[in-house]
Amino acid sequence: MIFVFSFSNNYAGNETITAGGKAAGLGGAAVADIGLWQAFHNQAGLAYIEKLSAGIFNQTPFLLNELSTRGAAVALPVENSGVFALSLSYYGYNLYNEKKAGLAYARKFGDKISAAVQLDYLGTSISEGYGSRSNFTFEAGVRAELLPNFFLGAHIFNPIRAKLADYNDERIPAVLKAGFAYQPSDKILLSIESEKNLDEKNIFKAGIDYHIVKILYLRAGIATNPVLTSFGIGLEFESFRFDMAASYHQQLGYTPNVSLTYQLK
């Protein structure tokens, strides 16, 4: 028998990983974005990667190491065939932890639409004799440019609602996300997103990314359920990109999120 601990619908659970400092700085509003960390948000955004990319990230909710999530991803574009990506993450500590491994395939269909599917392995482990459980599921997403510089993203995780335990028919929840990104200029990105865990209240997220100078990005965002405000920066040097962000909960404090990304030039 396995019990699932849910500390917050933004932190615990393989289905709600906020990977990468950019997404964290935008309040988690990343479903219509592109880049390596879309391996955790909406795999359709991987289709725009043109060179081998790899990265690592760490998120520590409320500065508690026991609640931290660490992860990595690598994406390999194949000419005329799309992009393949592998992502790994680990949440928790020795007494309770969740592991996730995903293998994604993303592809563009013309210049304005992309789609992707990812197969997932999910592992949950609890000490003190409760044991562990493994599951397989999948997720899928699409991204489309509806108008010039106006993008729609939609994603679903675990539509089959994989069973976690026989006790009380406990299942891993399905999660639906949809949102928009608007880029009115080369320097500004506006992003909004709605996330619905079928077992929880809806979450609304919004953020802004300002490319202030060549190597520097400034970000701010907000999310609901719980109410969080966020801010962050990004630094870009040749093949490397470093992103750092923190969200703030009025009662529980700060959650830092850092990531380092490498893209072959």
Q: What is the domain-level CATH number for residue 221?
A: 2.40.160.60
Of the candidates 41, 2, 6, the residue with the CA atom closest to the CA atom of residue 163: 2
* Residue 13, pLDDT score: 55
* Residue 15, pLDDT score: 62
Of 125-129, 141-145, 218-222, which range is least confident?
125-129
User: Domain for residue 3, yes or no?
Assistant: no
Look at residue 32 and tell me whether its pLDDT is greater than 50: yes
Over residues 178-196, the pLDDT tens digits come to 999 999 999 999 999 999 9
Of the candidates 223, 187, 179, 217, the residue with the CA atom closest to the CA atom of residue 203: 223
DSSP letter at 71 equals: E
* Residue 168, pLDDT score: 76
Of 53-62, 126-135, 168-177, 219-228, which range is least confident?
126-135
Is 253 within 8 Å of 15 (Cβ atoms)? no
Question: Residues with Cβ < 8 Å from 80, sequence gap 6 or more?
Answer: none
Look at residue 211 and tell me whether its pLDDT is greater than 60: yes
User: Domain for residue 219, yes or no?
Assistant: yes
User: Domain for residue 2, yes or no?
Assistant: no
* Residue 216, pLDDT score: 97
DSSP letter at 111 equals: T
User: Domain for residue 179, yes or no?
Assistant: yes
- SS3 for 23? helix
How much is the mean pLDDT over the chain? 92
Range 120-126 average pLDDT: 93
Model confidence at 5, pLDDT cuts 50, 70, 90, reads very low
* Residue 199, pLDDT score: 80
Over residues 74-105, the pLDDT tens digits come to 999 998 899 999 999 999 998 999 999 999 99
Over residues 106-121, the pLDDT tens digits come to 999 999 999 999 999 9
What CA–CA distance (Å, rounded) separates 43 from 59? 20
What CA–CA distance (Å, rounded) separates 131 from 126? 6
Range 7-28 average pLDDT: 75
* Residue 8, pLDDT score: 40
* Residue 131, pLDDT score: 80
User: Domain for residue 200, yes or no?
Assistant: yes
* Residue 93, pLDDT score: 92
Model confidence at 14, pLDDT cuts 50, 70, 90, reads low
User: Domain for residue 25, yes or no?
Assistant: yes
Look at residue 234 and tell me whether its pLDDT is greater than 50: yes
Say how many C-beta atoms besides its own lie within 10 A of residue 244's C-beta: 19
Residue 184 belongs to what domain range? Answer: 14-263
Taking phi over 0 as left and psi of -120 to 50 as alpha, with beta for the rest, 80 belongs to left
Phi first, then psi, for residue 95 (nearest 5°) are -80, -30
User: Domain for residue 9, yes or no?
Assistant: no
User: Domain for residue 178, yes or no?
Assistant: yes
Provide the number of structural domains found in the chain: 1
Look at residue 7 and tell me whether its pLDDT is greater than 50: no
